[in-house]
Structure 1
Amino acid sequence: RARYYVPIVGWLPDYSIGNFAVDVKAGFVVACLLVPQALSYSSLTHLPPEHGLYTALVPTLVYGLLGTSRHLSMGPEALISVLTGTLVKSQLKDFITSDSPNTPSQDSIDRFSATVATAVALVTGLFTFVLGIFRFGFLDSMISESSLRGFISGTAIVVLIGQARIVLGIPTTSDVVHSTPWNDLKYMVSHLGQTHAMTAAVSLGALALLRLIHAAKAQFTRARWLQNIPDTLVVVVLATIISWAAKLGEEHDVVIFGKVDGSLPRFQLPHVPTHGDTKDIVSSGITITMIGVVESVIVAREYASRNHYAVSSNRELVALGVSNAVGATFGAYPAFGSLSRSKLNDRAQAKSQMSGIITAILVAISLLGVLPYLYHLPRGVLAAIIVDAVSSLLSATPGTIAFLFHVQAWSDLFLLLFICLCSVAASVETGILLAVIISLTMVIKRSNMPRIKLLGRSTENDNDFYPIDGAPPTSTPQHVEGVLIVRIEEPLYFANAGQLHARLNRMEMYGDMRTHPSEAPRMNPTRAVVFDLVGMSAIDGSALEILLNIVHEYNRRNVQVVFVRVCDDVHVRFRQAKMDSEGGQYDFSDIGSALSHLEQQL
């Protein structure tokens, strides 16, 4: 079973030198994007830059050992970084005010922030691991597409607002750092006159170069050399050289990257800091897990399908959980799969998880030897990299809105816009909380309604029965006088059986489910009910008890009840529950024979 729980045991013995060469190239290409992204995304989390690299190193390495996807690129990701940063910012506010009137030093603020981030990474890892162990791999389908798109769009707008201020070089106050996105936007607009010209020129120039390279790649898709250009790395190197040569930091007051600790992470058990809120950290960890799992599993499945191999959602959850838990002990904040880097990994034709391991090794080398050379890198360029990456999150939104409008899915369209607006006007936490709550409410509501159809006899053939509201165009089914024919199309269990009695009453009164209950009943009194159980393959104890009560109520009203096409398992449950003693007969093979029997009885 080692192959199942530790996938590297399965693929490494058969690994070839040819595949290794390809994976080294893919790992290098991804690392060229990951290192600049890690440095950029760390600013979203309010952590020192090295923690972004720790997040790019440890979870990526662990996932390479345990993950089932050959193409999923682990590490820091924009949405997860924003959620982590939102938690860190809220905890920092309490930490700073708790030390009043003394203002804590920057070192103590950095240590506190890192402690909060590693604590939430541990919670995220443990929660994800538990979900995988208990086989909750289906959770990626629990959040509706419109809710998720609304949250992603809102979060992207929030990030763009925050990073635009840095791109333009507008000075920041502590009040702005702890404000809502809406107040942040108002502050930026009102202080546009304080834009730092040189910072804006360098940052916008970097953003323009990134967009130019993207456009060239999109135009010349067959030029493999162009597709393999590490655009983000090129921009970082050029900006650093220009900043150094022009002395942007010393002579033009451009905020630069500065000196950063370039050592490898050290082991330290995560814990909740003294002024931290355990409840907030745990709730944020659960939220981050929901978003990270959805994104990662979707990406893993997509590239597995493209490359004709299988991934296990449950094993992916275990791998993601262990990666985050181990990463938390080495200074990493929550990490999940990235769509952009996974796409790059696939384009580089990665052959196995070895490409991720190579990427992690290159990140470690960057930690040890590259950071000193980034001293002169303008921080506005890092903000431009974030703007470029996050703007891609908005690229699918117009198409989604147009599609929902075209198919007149008004509720989905409203949900998307509402969650997006709440994320921007209130906070990212509000947006994701609403997305999860509304999605789960929709799932519960729809699973609470049993799929049943009211059938009528075909005018073409007495032995054919069709749904009253869904018959073929060639047939117009008619109600059988005094008989309610109901088809149950799914297994009954405690959640969906509760509404069965109310829906049967409505069918009995109006003949369909579309009539408003305020109208007067229009059906003749029911003398018999025929349940067609062709789709009901199982029934649990709670649902069986509800069904027995329904049959008993019909029997008390002298309404005969028969069941047709009962499967073997349900037949056994009916016999055990003594359904016949309550008045329910269940030995009929089709609706026609049941109606013949009822005609004799009635």
Structure 2
Amino acid sequence: MTPQSRTEVAFATLPERLSRAAEQAQKRERVEEDLTRWQLLYRRARYYIPVLQWLPHYSLRSFMRDVIAALTLTSLIAPQSMSYATNLVHTDPVHGLFGAAVPAMVYSAMGTCRQLSVGPEAALSLITGETIAKFIEEEEHAHGRMSDAHRVKFIAKIITVITFESGLVTFLLGFFRLGFLDAVLSRALLRGFMTAVAVTIFVSQAPSILGIEAGLNAAYGASSSVLEKVQYIATHLGETHRLTLLVSIIALAALIGGKIGKRTVAQKKGYWRIALYVPEVLLVVVLSTILSHIFHWNHAGLSVLGRVSPGDVKVRVPFVGWGYMRRYVTKSFGTSTVIAILGFLDSIVAAKDMASKHDYPISPNRELCALGSANLFAAFCTGSLPGYGSITRSRLASATGARTQMSSLLTGTFVLLVTYFLLRFLGPLPKCILAVIVCVVVYSIFEETPEDVKFFYKMGSWTDGGLMLLTFALSLFVSVEVGIITSVALSMLLCIKHSTAMRLNILGRVPGTSTFEPLEEDLNDDGLLPVMGEEVPGVLIVKIRDVALTFANTGYLKERLRRLERYGHGRHHPAEEPRREEASVVIFDLTDVSEVDASALQIMLELVDSYAARNVLIYWTQCNPRALARLREAGVVDKSGGDSHVQPSVARALEEIHETMMQVNGGTSGVDASSIV
């Protein structure tokens, strides 16, 4: 159907649709009048607890689709969560599984995104692991080396603290309606940070893939830096365990091949799409576990997972009976805040992607509350890793048929079943397989980086490229925490810079008309494009393009106007000689301005006084009634010369200037009228 025919159909059905809308509006009004207090409360509750909204209308068909999606997700998230817990946080895999189960189940009741997959994430697990390694080093430095049993309990408690605090911070961000944070953070900075995280994770997993992790830990401990790991790998390549490397290469090729194959199949239709349901990660885990058990790879020097029990996770109230461990509540708060912010950013990107694809609304503030609640509940399971949204898992959920938040509830349930009934059979699982699974996630991050770099280069955005490189270097060579804090801080500074820069244009007359357009210079292959408008000699016509004039964007208004007055619209440096004569008249076009706050009005008064001291006339044109009322109330109009200095258009202001000059000078202005009017 062509756009024209679609328009004709829309107009043909418009009366019927408008009539139906009016009837529905009247019906809603009658219903709302008859609502009792409890019914109104229930209606409000449905907004804040979305499960009350979608569950009463849930269908068997949706359930079957959600079951298939949940089974597919479980085959991915269970091995991933075990890998993050074992290889990034250096704790028992059961803590990763509970981090995948509990937050997902809670989110299914509170979240607004139907396909969002909530669970442990690589970057967040890396930050958690680095913090725990630092705390262990401090604890051992103060009290001597920990026993293995004490170390396990210590790590579980620190994870609980981080999960609880990150959940609390996330919930409070939503409660105070700070869901706009994702819009103020620079993509270039976040890309630099995520690329550094990918490199850090890859380097941290390389010793496990090569089979030299034990030697690295003996040489540098658990808190070794990226450079120390690279140095150790380079000097100990000769000690590579061949069986471990062979198993890792085969598994890596299988997983990356499966990923590329699924991406190819996703573009096709028909029976080929059944390949999307193949759980390649689960297959690699199961096959490697069986082969390891049959051929006794652990006796050949290959490191395996060993005995793991779900009983290691206890359901307890956090912080009760912890004693001296409570001091880590304040020491880990910075890390928890970083995890909360980064987790929300990952989650909201995934949620918006799913909402756009399936055409339904989401609320960033309610997403924050849902994710915060999910992690607060997860903290009651001692050692449960923080859980946030993943865009790759969410896309898998969407591609395999997830229709409602029930898929998240089912995924959490299936992960718990795996934890209690299948985990005990994974003792022979090679640890290098878990490292390979983590590296596949890193591969996904690396895939996105070159596209962003090429785009920045193509657009000549050297500032974005430089900021990306800065964040990358800080995250990689200083610490991941410093990298994300720098990203957030620089993003905030850039937002402040842009919000305080008032948008001004010098207007010029379009030749042969009374229309005034911005005088702009731009570059093309031949150099500067010609300026199409004509400037009025001695008159500076400035259009303020900001909707609201506030203390933030008017602070440097006088300096900006002075520079425009001297150098005009071109890109000229202040060190150059002035390009214009000082203005005798300044005309402000306030077409776009609708709000003026008190601080901006004070600055306007100072501006009028400074121009009056130089005998410069000021006119205000095309004023919004609300803005004009504020200017009158503050005395700006009176100081400018009264109502005659407020005109409906720039052309009319110029006519007023010419007429006034004629009156004052006895019928002759001494100036060529055509140069003004």
TM-score, structure 2 normalization: 0.85
Aligned-residue offset at 1:177: 2.2
Q: 1:260 aligns with which of 292, 304, 308?
A: 308
- What is the Cα deviation at residue 214 of structure 1? 2.1
Match of 1:2 in 2: 45
Equivalent residue of 1:497, what SS?
coil
1:191 & 1:495 partners in 2: Cα distance? 57
Aligned counterpart in structure 2 of residue 594 of structure 1, from 623, 643, 653:
653
Report if the CA contact (8 A) 2:521-2:530 is conserved: no
Alpha-carbon distance in structure 2 between the residues aligned to 1:278 and 1:595: 68
Task: Supply the distance in 2 between the matched residues of 1:584 and 1:150 (Cα, whole angstroms).
Answer: 54
Alignment partner for residue 588 of structure 2, among 531, 537, 553? 531
- The CA distance in 1 between the partners of 2:401 and 2:105, in whole Å, is 19
Deviation digits for residues 496-535 of structure 1, max 9, x if unmatched? 1112111011011111362111122232222111111111
Distance 1:204 1:468, change over 3 A: closer
Matched, 1:185 2:230: yes
Give the match for residue 17 of structure 2.
Answer: none
Tell me which of 45, 70, 76 is aligned to 2:89: 45
Confirm whether residue 274 of structure 1 aligns to residue 333 of structure 2: no
Q: For residue 623 of structure 2, what is the aligned residue in structure 1? A: 566
Mapped partners of 1:537, 1:178: distance in 2: 56
For residues 513 and 75 of structure 2, the distance between their equivalents in structure 1, rounded to whole angstroms, comes to: 70
Identify the match of residue 138 of structure 1 among 160, 180, 183: 180
Alignment-derived partner of residue 339 in structure 1: 391
Query: Residue deviations 1:142-192, cap 9 Å, x none?
Result: 221111111111100000000011111103225242122122111111111
Question: Helix, strand or coil for the counterpart of 1:512?
Answer: coil
- After TM superposition, the structure 1 stretch with the greater mean CA deviation from structure 2, 171-180 or 129-138, is 171-180
Q: Deviations over 1:11-58 (max 9, x none)?
A: 000111111111111111111111101100112122221110111111
**8 Å contact from structure 2 (residues 75, 282) kept in 1:** yes
- Shift in CA distance, 455/259, structure 1 to aligned 2, threshold 3 Å: same
Q: Quick one: which of 187, 210, 215 aligns to 2:260?
A: 215
Aligned to 1:350: 402
Distance 2:139 2:330 in 1: 15
Letter in 2 for 1:105: S
Tell me whether 1:108 sits opposite 2:156 in the alignment. no
Contact 1:69 1:300 in 2 (8 A): yes
Partner of 2:438: 386
Q: How far apart are 1:265 and its partner, in Å?
A: 4.3
Partner amino acid for 1:217?
Answer: K
Deviates further, 370-379 or 494-503: 494-503
1:506 and 1:513 in contact (8 A); partners too: no
Q: Summarize deviations over 1:535-559 as a string: whole Å, max 9, x none.
A: 1121222122112211122122221
Which letter does structure 2 place at the counterpart of 1:328? A
Change in Cα spacing, 1:348 to 1:265, as seen in structure 2 (3 Å) is farther
The letter for the 2-side match of 1:395 is E
* DSSP-derived class of the 1:36 partner: helix
Provide structure 2 residue ranges, at least 5 long, that are not aligned to the other structure: 1-43, 662-677
Secondary structure of the residue that 2:537 maps to in structure 1?
coil
Assess if the C-alpha contact under 8 Å between 2:521 and 2:570 holds in 1.
no
Q: Is the aligned partner of 1:453 residue 2:505?
A: yes
Q: Does 1:80 align with 2:96?
A: no
Q: CA deviation at 1:212?
A: 2.5
Once residues 81 and 641 of structure 2 are traced to their aligned partners in structure 1, the CA distance between those partners, rounded to angstroms, is 66
Identity of aligned residues (%): 34
Partner of 2:201: 159
The partner residue of 2:78 within 31, 35, 38 is: 35
Match of 2:25 in 1: none
SS of the aligned residue for 1:523 comes to coil
* In the alignment, structure 1 residue 498 sits paired with structure 2 residue 555: yes
Which of 295, 298, 304 pairs up with 1:246?
295
Match of 2:7 in 1: none
CA shift, 1:469, in A, is 3.4
2:542 aligns to what? Answer: 486
Question: Counterpart in 1 of 2:14?
Answer: none
Aligned to 1:438: 490
Question: What does residue range 471-482 of structure 1 map to in structure 2 within 5 Å?
Answer: 476-482=532-538
The separation in 2 between residues aligned to 1:114 and 1:495, in whole angstroms, is 47
Q: Does 1:15 align with 2:66?
A: no
Give distance in 2, aligned partners of 1:167 and 1:268.
38
- Structure 2 contact 198–446 (Cα < 8 Å) conserved: yes
Quick check: 1:258–1:376 contact (8 Å CA) kept in 2?
yes
**Match for residue 424 of structure 1?**
476
Q: Tell me how far apart the structure 2 counterparts of residues 273 and 519 of structure 1 sit (CA, whole Å).
A: 68
Task: Output the CA distance in 2 between the equivalents of 1:592 and 1:265.
Answer: 78
Q: Is the 8 A contact 2:130 2:223 kept in 1?
A: no
Question: Structure 1 residues 14 and 406 mapped into 2: Cα distance closer, same or farther (>3 Å)?
Answer: same
Q: How far apart are the structure 2 equivalents of 1:67 and 1:455? A: 50
RMSD between superposed Cα atoms in Å: 2.0
Partner of 2:245: 200
Partner of 2:619, secondary structure, is strand
Shift of 1:215: 3.2
Asked if 2 retains the 8 angstrom alpha-carbon contact of 1:7 and 1:66, the reply is yes
Which deviates the most, 284-293 or 73-82? 284-293
C-alpha deviations, 1:63-112, integer Å up to 9, x for none?
00000000110000111111111221222211121113xx1112212222
* Distance across 2 between alignment mates of 1:38 and 1:173: 22
**Secondary structure of residue in 1 paired with 2:437:** helix
Listed as ranges, the gaps of 5+ residues in structure 1 are: none
CA separation of 1:361 and 1:278: change in aligned 2, threshold 3 A: closer
Higher mean alpha-carbon deviation, 28-37 vs 478-487, is at 478-487
**C-alpha contact 2:519 2:531 (8 A) present in aligned 1:** no
Q: Partner residue of 1:70? A: 114
Name the amino acid aligned to 1:478. E
Partner of 1:495: helix, strand, or coil? coil
- From 342, 353, 358, give the equivalent of 1:302: 353
Residue of structure 2 in register with 1:549 after alignment:
606
Which amino acid letter does the alignment assign opposite residue 254 of structure 2? L
In structure 2, the partner of 1:225 is 274
Which one is further off, 524-533 or 260-269? 260-269
Deviates more, 1:446-455 or 1:568-577: 568-577
Note closer, same or farther for the CA distance 1:584–1:499 as it changes in structure 2 (3 Å cut).
farther
Partner of residue 419 from structure 2, selected from 357, 367, 385: 367
